[in-house]
Structure 1
Amino acid sequence: MSSPHNKSESVAEALDALDRGVEPDRMVLRDAVRALLTELSRRAPGRSVEVRVPPFGAIQCVPGPRHTRGTPPNVVETDPKTWLLVATGRLGWDDALRDGRLRASGIRTDITEYLPLSG
């Protein structure tokens, strides 16, 4: 597993690749996604919302009622590149929802108060 310092660097490296119009290296993108998910779980500790970024990670976060069985009632799901852009403030939450790049179901899924994150 990469060190936290390397994971922070991976966010910058992945964003740089996207800025240049190239696909980020898969391992760099994975580390960037995980670093940003880790930061979200640190900023919003809890278990009421599940944030999924397949295939690289999923966390539970946000204070509130805890989910324990079956399909979680509050789920945010997106692809790795969209997560990277939304989590760093380069793509707005509402824009990602409107474009269908981010799906949020449940009354507690608006996590914009915790964004943008730093890796």
Structure 2
Amino acid sequence: MAVTAAQLRESILAVADWVRDEGVPKPARAEIAAAVRASARTLAQAAPGYSVEVRVPPFVAVQCISGPRHTRGTPPNVVETDPRTWLLLATGLLTFDDAVASGTLTASGSRASEVAHWLPIVPL
């Protein structure tokens, strides 16, 4: 399912205040889900491939980055984080390295850190 730039921007703007400031009221679950899915799918469109799996439970998991295809079991290269941290990364308000250092993002496998080259997806 392709995501247009307009769809991505609209979904991010719907949650932008909360992404910038966790103290503001949390958006509706559907709005958070839309922003997470649109941004992760945009990453997969921009960096097509199957060598790294990006997981943002409970909303989405995408495969991206060209290289060896993973087909069974646990992928060798996984990036996983919570929805708000993902949105901070996707909008450039948090760096990949800072998220790993803080423990809010796990990156396993020799190619997982390549996701950082594709961030931010849509700067706020």
Q: Under a length normalisation based on structure 1, what TM-score does the superposition of the two structures give?
A: 0.90
- Deviations, residues 31-66 of structure 1 (Å, cap 9, x unaligned): 000110111011100000000000000001100001
- Match of 1:58, SS state, is strand
Separation of aligned partners in 2, 1:52 and 1:98: 18
Q: CA deviation at 1:112?
A: 1.2
Residue correspondences, number: 117
- Match of 2:112, SS state, is coil
Q: CA deviation at 1:70?
A: 1.1
Q: CA deviation at 1:118?
A: 2.0
Structure 1 gaps of 5+ residues are none
Separation of aligned partners in 1, 2:90 and 2:51: 19
Give the conservation status (yes or no) of the 8 Å contact 1:89–1:116: yes
Separation of aligned partners in 1, 2:80 and 2:65: 15
Separation of aligned partners in 1, 2:75 and 2:7: 32
- Match of 1:67, SS state, is coil
Give the conservation status (yes or no) of the 8 Å contact 2:92–2:122: no
Q: What one-letter code is carried by the residue in structure 1 that aligns with 2:120? A: P
Separation of aligned partners in 2, 1:72 and 1:13: 32
